Structure 1
Amino acid sequence: MMKRYFTTLLLLGTVAVLLSMDATAQKTAIQTITTHDKITVVTDPSKGSNTYLGWGKFPATNTPIRKIRMVVKFGCPDTLRCADWDYMDQILIRRKGGQNAPDLSYEIGRMLTPYGGAFGKNWNFEWATDLTDFSLLLRDSVEVEYRHAGYEPNNDRGWKITVQFEITPGPPALPPFAIHRIYDGHYAYGDSSKPIEAALKPVSFTSNSKTRNARLLIYQTGHGMDPEGCGEFCSRYREVLFNDQLIDKRDIWQKCGDNPLYPQAGTWIIDRAYWCPGELKHADRYQLTIQPNRNNVVDINMEPYQSPKPSATEVISAYVVEYGAYRSKQDVAMEDIIVPSNKDIHSRINPAGVHPVIAFRNLGGALLKTLQISYGTKAKARQLFQWKGELKPGETAIVKLPGIIAAAPGENEFQVELSRPNGKQDGYLADNFMSSVFKAIPKHGASLVFQFKTNRQPEHNSFTLTNSNNEIVQQRKEGELKADSLYQEQWQLQPGIYTLQVKDSAGDGLEFWFNRRGGRGYARLLDHQRRMLHLFESDFGSSLFYAFEVVQDSTQHQASVEIPAVGLYPTMSAGPTTLDYFSNSAEKVTVRFISDPGNQLVEEHVYENMKEGVFQYDMSYLPAQRYYVQVWVKGKMVFNKRLRIVFRQ
């Protein structure tokens, strides 16, 4: 089974000389294949599903492939707004070889669409997943289907979608021999007339004579809404058996408050049955102990469950891929640089000033116990560390490294190189090196003010300021804060790197539209002249992260935020709502209420020379529906949030 975990690191010391890692690492050209290029995707309400097909020319069958990565990009269409609902979309291999080839329908990706109702026209986001296990199928001419689900209107909303495949050539760590479809369907759950175990019967396959390894892949998400919230909002366990041996038991449940894509317009923070809105789902991967020429059995069992009014569905696709022997006993590969990084998916914990975080994989046949890691910003001094742990073949480790992340202003390049797995020569060097582009953390002066306005449920909140040695400089623990109170922390800091973290143990931030009892709070970082340096999003779910550097010359580095801080609460109301505005400069501000659907201006307020203010509106005269509240400054929309006027008794 593939695991992700932090491991203990042993410091060897900082390399005082500049190491030219990119000079020693082998460069491999990556081939990019695009099957869907910024296409507009909308629903088909008459069927609940809409199909978008695209062909790609993949490497020939005899071309060795080291790695395949699928990238999915979302944006708002050029002529429509972003769509509203969290639908389950699927990406499938439909045909391989040409127009007359048989229908394969292998699911290789599952996209849970975000609540996009409040995204601006320039919004975009990118996800990626590893598809190397499908290298037998992604060959020659391949037809890829993007299947978009849903019933929402299709005349004014949708998505702009790109699907790309990044092919890294090179010898595979494991040569694939066969792929077997184990399960593929929407399985009723909780219905006594259609028990799920009758559908999820054990599936047999006979292994190849050359098979020495195998991997089981499972895509699973729960959907539907019965009286207990199943299958979307209930936690139930799943058991996986291989040859009558239990290899995994886990809850089909996922926390959503730390979703990298935030905030969203709907109930994005609410935990769900193994998925969150705005997520490209990764397959669960299990390394299988297998013998050649043997009959093997895979069996998935769900927790026994019955509902008086069943509507739950478990959507499951599962495959077994057979492989030969490992090409090398000692073989490691970089998987990702998580910190520092500009990737959307890592935006929750970036930019950062200390502690790089990387992911690497053991692609060798031997247990990995030691590894040398060289890392640092390009053209800066490198650090050298010896990792120690136990990483089984096929598994991935996520490692937090010590040290400061050196950076020049603007964008930088961070480099990591792996070497000497188990003290020996790596069997394949080309994937030992990786670099990432990242932004430097902001620089501030020593005199700072942290404004923290609590909501009506402050027992869930805490915040901590730490220095580069992870020492606490200031802290407000959970349970210390009072409701509806403004805390203004005066900080006089020494030069150095600091990290400010805000947490909410309930996972609903300082504001969440569905939790009207909780009210709204906010967090702002100001300079000594009360100019805003950083505005924190109140609708943040579980946590906020902000790293910065305090420098001696405060006048040179005291940058301030140009976009004003705007809040609207409640956003689900019988009519009354309050808008608060804070800016570093006085400007003409226009507040507009726009109908949805209809996109008609229903009310407008203009405020001349406004810098700060709180404004109350009563929209109870309007029909009960959705509206957008927009704030415009100097011809630019700086705020766009959905207001739900609900039915009044």
Structure 2
Amino acid sequence: MKLSLQLFLIAISLLSFNAQSQDTITVQTITWDSAGREGWYTFPDLQTSEIERINLIYNIRCKNAQVGNGGVGCGEWDYSCNTFVTDTFRKDSVLQIQRKFVIPNFTGSEFYYSNNPTSNCISYFQKRGIYSGLSNEINGTIGTLDQNLKLKSETGKFYFLFTAAELSNANLKAGKIHGLRWNIVKSPGELSFLKIKMKNTRATSIQSTGFDLDNLTEVYFLNTPVPANGLQTLMFYNSFNWDGTSQILVEMSYNANPTAGEIELGSQTIQNVSVGANEKSYSLYQFGAAGFELEPQKLKQISNEVSIGFWAYGDPDIMPVNSSILEASDAQNNRQLNVHLPWSNGSVYWDCGNDGTGYDRIEKAAQAKDYEGQWTHWAFTKNVGTGVMQIYKNGILWHSGSGKRKAITVDKMKLASDINNQLSYFGRISHFAIWNKELDSLTIRNFMFDPGNNAHPAYNSLLYYLPLNDGDQNKLNDLSPNPATIPVATELNWYEEKGRNIVSGFQNLQARPVTTFIQGTINTFNLETISALEEFSTVKTPVTEYEILNGKPVVKNKFLVYPAGDFIIKDENGTPVDFKVVPEDGIFVMEDLKYQRYDPAKFEILSLVTPYGNGLDLTKDGKTFVFDITDYAPVLRGSKKISVEFGAWQEEMDLKFQFIKGKPAREVKEIQNIYAFQRGYIGNILNNEVFEPRNLKLHPDANSYKIRTTVTGHEQNGEFVSRSHFVRVDGNKSFRKFDFTVWKECADNPIFPQGGTWIFDRAGWCPGAASDVHQFDITSLGDPGSPVRIDYGLNGANMDAANYLVSCQLVSYGAAAYAKDAGIEAVIRPNVGRVEFERFNPACSRPAIQVKNFGSEDIRSLLIRYNVLGGRTLEFLYQGEIKPLEIKTIDLPVDHFDFWTNATTTLFEVEILKVNDINDENSRNNKMSSNFKLVRIFDFDPIFEIRTNNIAGDNSYRIKDMNGNILIEKKNLPAATTTQENLNVPNGCYTLEVDDQAQDGLSFWYYPNYGSGNSSIKRRVNNNVIPMVSFKPDFGAGFKYDFIVNKVTATDDESTSYVVSLYPNPVNDLVNLEVLGAEGQEAIIYLLNAAGQKVLMHSIPQDGNSVQKQFSLAGLAKGMYFMHIQLNDKILIRKLILD
């Protein structure tokens, strides 16, 4: 791909002047237009003794150089973006803990079990309404007895519809119905757990396939004795309010009574108003076991439309947890279908369609009753053509989303778990169906109980219909038009439903009980609550036993058992009320089996977090970081895999590895991972379940050793809570605990402003910046070749919602090659190429460099020479102590701003001449250069203006001269106030510094009540003040701005003088020229490049007493130019920088 000029200049400027081209090898890896974010690359096969330094030149820019906006340009969110080199000739080991017995949803130490079925109980609050009598009683009877309706002793559930006309004809009025009466023709005794619900409905008929069941109101719940014959009156504990115009739907249910016979109700022959189920009813109970794989061939018919429907009853003792009730993927393992019902946060997620870059999703927070403790019918649909995804609850639209146009490609699918059996479902499932067609609300509602019915409008589009209600122990039956075989590895868990929970087996009945509804005025009423125990069978629990063989966990045994031991009896609200003891046949005693997993060694060479992308412009050349990665020289040889992971697709990136050949100041003998890079949750870290103490041996041929670690915190508390971490090292000579705080200041981020909460400090990282690297010298703790014990951990107690990504490495070095060796690490100021230094640039104040002591002796003084190429040369004697391996920032004094303006280039050069008054033993790292951008030049007295926001005392500003002396300072500015500072200063270089004490700038979206402020540099023209430079108000902790004031007055005699303004300077395209005092004179303008060639010429007539002209410099090359302004026989010359 095309290499940008900026990246090329950065690469060149990183080289020492003495390093010839043959001394440097650059390896290009990932580029802006790379199809992937990983690959195998060939690095030079150099010995570590031949490598002086390795730089990683890391560039990012928004996709296609566009400004970030949602999915356009830069990615919207901040993501960890970690760079790794994988060495397949080395191995990482990771502590693994395998539970000896894996039992779904069991975290105790001992599991008591029985080989035979067991049962528990729930205590229900049944209610009896006690009436002393009714005044003005109305008994409205509907129907004429002509047959009997048999209620078998099995569980039963019935629905009866009574029309508004029937109710009115029976003299019933709008208002409360207090009970009903049935004619018992035959009865053996009792209806257990008899429950009646009612609702007003617009439906005029009901069918066994499905109808509207939402919003039924419970009116009766009681174990009810039934007389042998005669009238049975059921008085409601909760009167039902009939609206007078709707039909009434009555639901009646009861539990099986094995000792009783059939009950017969006097009934009327009638059609389309009576539905019932009166046989044993089952549903599939999934209890954390593996899911069921659906035959894939039929699934390939799904592409642009899909509908999935089923009944679900989440286990109230477990839900909500992270779970999947289904998941499907394509051949590349991209998620294509998924339903979290729910996730642990109580939200329902519907994922559908994936183009390889991510899946379409809609989600909504649900009430607990929607996903646990009762049956709910769910349907999930998508239409790629319309871009609409929808979720239906009980046949009613519950949630929808638009713009979801990713097509669906399914190659494999599992029911009752995710695709990898990592997230199971906990609860009961029934009537599972898939169509390759979008269904509507009415169709879903009318076939909830029988989606496989051949009268279904989309029957020919039905791919799967699993009733999940037949109790067959060894198979799942598919009743679709083209049935498939579904493998079943173990016995299935079938749950026998109580009457009120029946969702299967409904039939259209030809009889409806003759019913009398009772109305009237209540004289007195009392409510009696009665506790009633309902027994239920426990479900079989899968138990998997593991053992460690050949360093890996393998399944030793599988068991299906029933829980036993102490059972807690709860009431219907989940409150414990009693207990029972069930004898056990055995106990599974939990145990942790520990072993090490070995993988190819994967070294994190950089941890960086992507910036918030909304509104972000990284320019067409992107932003470039430079990192010293010489520590990784032992692994960056030959063919290696380079990968950028996690948030690698948020931006385009370009990674170059620059190898500078030569004798190293300290040879890197070895680098090794103490721990494999991984994520650790705080509880696991504290318990040494990850990052456990490790025993290593110090390299026998090394002279010094250090530990380098990068830690970044994630989740709410991990990200936003400062914590103390430690590395403890026990050697054969001594031990030491290195404490360090994982916390990073973010409001001075060089990439600003960003979208999102970029100013908030975080645990070890900031959006748009490299993460902190902590380094600890452990040389004094052990001898070469001796063992050391190393442990990483956290200080303090556990906390929720916190995990950490940890890279921890041991680096071994040879002896220092030189006693006196000072090297220039970086030019901080001036520097246009490195984003790390953008807050300090452009600059005209003192140059700042970083110097590192690579030698074995202390540095006490440095003689430094520096210049801008084509300009004056200065020298500075730095006096101060720099310890071995210490890096010191040194400011270099400048005596006049013409140090910058009189040069013919914008290339800064710096060289170390002497170390401790003698020649440096290693001169290769003594020189460095940097390209820079010249600061704005004002040929007038500028005015600084700041308008504060609503927070008083938050802002301060100061003006410094080029050597850092404060000339003007204003602190604690009042709220919502405009302040102007007239800078009537001599010609020179100046620095404006603006601070914000709260580190949230003059404007930040997160605090709208704080209001917005602004700041700028302005110019007075006649009686007007016009802005020349406006500063972005979202600047975080503060900003610096360097500028030159050069008020030039040109004269050739006492009577003629001119004031020349050329702005902006530097310029991108359009430049303005004003010459005051040129009354009656024509101006001839020449523009010459640095080689003296004329590139532009204009003739400008006089206008009053001034010359004014705007020029376009489009098409000219960037660089330095000289503008010649000829006024009669006088020539004025001004320097101009085209940037």
TM-score by structure 1 length?
Answer: 0.74
Deviation track 1:106-156 (CA, whole Å, cap 9, x = no partner) reads 111112000011124845211121100000000112220111339xxx8xx
* Residue among 809, 812, 815 paired with 1:325: 815
| 1:93 maps to 2:585 | no
Aligned to 1:67: 53
Q: Is the 8 Å Cα contact of residues 197 and 302 (structure 1) preserved in structure 2?
A: no
Question: Looking at CA atoms only, which structure, 1 or 2, has the larger radius of gyration?
Answer: 2
Q: Identify if the C-alpha distance between structure 1 residues 148 and 550 changes in structure 2 by more than 3 Å, giving closer, same or farther.
A: same
Q: Identify if the C-alpha distance between structure 1 residues 371 and 491 changes in structure 2 by more than 3 Å, giving closer, same or farther.
A: closer
What amino acid is the match of 2:637? R
Deviation track 1:336-373 (CA, whole Å, cap 9, x = no partner) reads 00011113221111111221110011111222222222
Per the TM alignment, residue 400 of structure 1 is displaced from its structure 2 partner at its CA by: 1.9
Q: Identify if the C-alpha distance between structure 1 residues 492 and 35 changes in structure 2 by more than 3 Å, giving closer, same or farther.
A: same
* Residue among 447, 460, 463 paired with 2:954: 460
| 1:128 maps to 2:626 | yes
* Residue among 26, 34, 37 paired with 2:31: 37
Q: Is the 8 Å Cα contact of residues 28 and 169 (structure 1) preserved in structure 2?
A: no
Aligned to 2:614: 117
Q: Identify if the C-alpha distance between structure 1 residues 93 and 471 changes in structure 2 by more than 3 Å, giving closer, same or farther.
A: closer
Deviation track 1:597-620 (CA, whole Å, cap 9, x = no partner) reads xxxxxxxxxxxxxxxxxxxxxxxx
What SS is found at the alignment partner of 1:114? coil
Deviation track 1:568-596 (CA, whole Å, cap 9, x = no partner) reads xxxxxxxxxxxxxxxxxxxxxxxxxxxxx
Aligned to 2:859: 368
Q: Is the 8 Å Cα contact of residues 77 and 159 (structure 1) preserved in structure 2?
A: yes
Deviation track 1:215-270 (CA, whole Å, cap 9, x = no partner) reads 21111111111xxxx10001111223333633632221111111000000110000
| 1:139 maps to 2:637 | yes
What is the correspondence of 1:436-515 to structure 2 with a 5 Å cutoff? Answer: 436-478=930-972, 481-515=973-1007
Per the TM alignment, residue 197 of structure 1 is displaced from its structure 2 partner at its CA by: 4.2
Q: Identify if the C-alpha distance between structure 1 residues 561 and 541 changes in structure 2 by more than 3 Å, giving closer, same or farther.
A: farther
Q: Is the 8 Å Cα contact of residues 182 and 319 (structure 1) preserved in structure 2?
A: yes
Looking at structure 1, the residues matched to 725 and 878 of structure 2 have their Cα atoms a distance apart, in angstroms, of 34
Aligned to 1:237: 724
Q: Which has the higher contact order (CA 8 A, sep 6+)?
A: 2
What amino acid is the match of 1:523? S
Looking at structure 2, the residues matched to 442 and 59 of structure 1 have their Cα atoms a distance apart, in angstroms, of 44
Per the TM alignment, residue 203 of structure 1 is displaced from its structure 2 partner at its CA by: 2.1
Looking at structure 2, the residues matched to 429 and 547 of structure 1 have their Cα atoms a distance apart, in angstroms, of 33
Aligned to 2:671: 179
Looking at structure 2, the residues matched to 388 and 286 of structure 1 have their Cα atoms a distance apart, in angstroms, of 27
Unaligned stretches of 5+ in structure 2? 1-13, 67-71, 91-598, 1050-1058, 1068-1139
| 1:387 maps to 2:878 | yes
What amino acid is the match of 2:900? A
Per the TM alignment, residue 334 of structure 1 is displaced from its structure 2 partner at its CA by: 0.9
What is the correspondence of 1:303-382 to structure 2 with a 5 Å cutoff? Answer: 303-307=795-799, 310-342=800-832, 343-382=834-873
Per the TM alignment, residue 335 of structure 1 is displaced from its structure 2 partner at its CA by: 0.4
Q: Is the 8 Å Cα contact of residues 846 and 963 (structure 2) preserved in structure 1?
A: no
What is the correspondence of 1:283-294 to structure 2 with a 5 Å cutoff? Answer: 283-289=773-779, 290-294=782-786
Aligned to 1:27: 19
What SS is found at the alignment partner of 1:473? strand
Q: Identify if the C-alpha distance between structure 1 residues 445 and 222 changes in structure 2 by more than 3 Å, giving closer, same or farther.
A: same
What SS is found at the alignment partner of 1:221? strand
Deviation track 1:278-318 (CA, whole Å, cap 9, x = no partner) reads 012353223331521211232323121222xx221111111
Q: Identify if the C-alpha distance between structure 1 residues 121 and 550 changes in structure 2 by more than 3 Å, giving closer, same or farther.
A: closer
* Residue among 43, 48, 53 paired with 2:38: 53
Looking at structure 2, the residues matched to 204 and 423 of structure 1 have their Cα atoms a distance apart, in angstroms, of 45
Deviation track 1:69-104 (CA, whole Å, cap 9, x = no partner) reads 112111122284210111111111124689xxx832
Q: Is the 8 Å Cα contact of residues 448 and 527 (structure 1) preserved in structure 2?
A: yes
**CA RMSD, 1 decimal:** 2.7
Q: Identify if the C-alpha distance between structure 1 residues 557 and 291 changes in structure 2 by more than 3 Å, giving closer, same or farther.
A: farther
Aligned to 2:405: none
What amino acid is the match of 2:33? I
Looking at structure 2, the residues matched to 353 and 471 of structure 1 have their Cα atoms a distance apart, in angstroms, of 14
| 1:104 maps to 2:601 | yes
Deviation track 1:507-541 (CA, whole Å, cap 9, x = no partner) reads 10000000112110000111122232211110000
Q: Is the 8 Å Cα contact of residues 87 and 635 (structure 2) preserved in structure 1?
A: no
What amino acid is the match of 1:549? I
Per the TM alignment, residue 426 of structure 1 is displaced from its structure 2 partner at its CA by: 2.2
Q: Identify if the C-alpha distance between structure 1 residues 297 and 367 changes in structure 2 by more than 3 Å, giving closer, same or farther.
A: farther
Q: Identify if the C-alpha distance between structure 1 residues 76 and 240 changes in structure 2 by more than 3 Å, giving closer, same or farther.
A: same
| 1:83 maps to 2:75 | yes
What SS is found at the alignment partner of 1:439? coil
* Residue among 1035, 1043, 1051 paired with 1:540: 1035
| 1:408 maps to 2:911 | no
TM-score by structure 2 length?
Answer: 0.43
Aligned to 1:3: none
Looking at structure 1, the residues matched to 663 and 1065 of structure 2 have their Cα atoms a distance apart, in angstroms, of 49
Per the TM alignment, residue 548 of structure 1 is displaced from its structure 2 partner at its CA by: 1.2
Unaligned stretches of 5+ in structure 1? 1-21, 42-50, 564-649
What is the correspondence of 1:231-270 to structure 2 with a 5 Å cutoff? Answer: 231-243=718-730, 245-246=735-736, 248-270=738-760
Q: Is the 8 Å Cα contact of residues 911 and 928 (structure 2) preserved in structure 1?
A: yes
Aligned to 1:552: 1047
Q: Is the 8 Å Cα contact of residues 40 and 77 (structure 1) preserved in structure 2?
A: no
Deviation track 1:53-83 (CA, whole Å, cap 9, x = no partner) reads 1232211133711101112111122284210
What SS is found at the alignment partner of 1:286? strand
Aligned to 2:1101: none
Q: Identify if the C-alpha distance between structure 1 residues 488 and 392 changes in structure 2 by more than 3 Å, giving closer, same or farther.
A: closer
Deviation larger for 111-120 or 389-398: 389-398
Residue-pair matches, total: 515
What SS is found at the alignment partner of 1:556? strand
Q: Identify if the C-alpha distance between structure 1 residues 549 and 318 changes in structure 2 by more than 3 Å, giving closer, same or farther.
A: same
Deviation track 1:541-571 (CA, whole Å, cap 9, x = no partner) reads 01111111111227534524999xxxxxxxx
Q: Identify if the C-alpha distance between structure 1 residues 291 and 371 changes in structure 2 by more than 3 Å, giving closer, same or farther.
A: farther
Per the TM alignment, residue 453 of structure 1 is displaced from its structure 2 partner at its CA by: 0.8
Per the TM alignment, residue 380 of structure 1 is displaced from its structure 2 partner at its CA by: 2.5
What amino acid is the match of 1:127? F
Q: Is the 8 Å Cα contact of residues 764 and 772 (structure 2) preserved in structure 1?
A: no
Q: Is the 8 Å Cα contact of residues 190 and 305 (structure 1) preserved in structure 2?
A: no
Looking at structure 1, the residues matched to 981 and 890 of structure 2 have their Cα atoms a distance apart, in angstroms, of 33
Q: Identify if the C-alpha distance between structure 1 residues 96 and 366 changes in structure 2 by more than 3 Å, giving closer, same or farther.
A: farther
Looking at structure 2, the residues matched to 493 and 367 of structure 1 have their Cα atoms a distance apart, in angstroms, of 42
What amino acid is the match of 1:278? G
Per the TM alignment, residue 411 of structure 1 is displaced from its structure 2 partner at its CA by: 5.5
Q: Identify if the C-alpha distance between structure 1 residues 298 and 411 changes in structure 2 by more than 3 Å, giving closer, same or farther.
A: farther
Sequence identity percentage: 27
Looking at structure 1, the residues matched to 790 and 864 of structure 2 have their Cα atoms a distance apart, in angstroms, of 38
Q: Is the 8 Å Cα contact of residues 239 and 246 (structure 1) preserved in structure 2?
A: no
Looking at structure 1, the residues matched to 632 and 711 of structure 2 have their Cα atoms a distance apart, in angstroms, of 17
Q: Identify if the C-alpha distance between structure 1 residues 194 and 335 changes in structure 2 by more than 3 Å, giving closer, same or farther.
A: closer
| 1:526 maps to 2:1018 | yes
What is the correspondence of 1:594-609 to structure 2 with a 5 Å cutoff? Answer: none
Provide runs of 4+ in structure 1 moved above 4 Å: 560-563
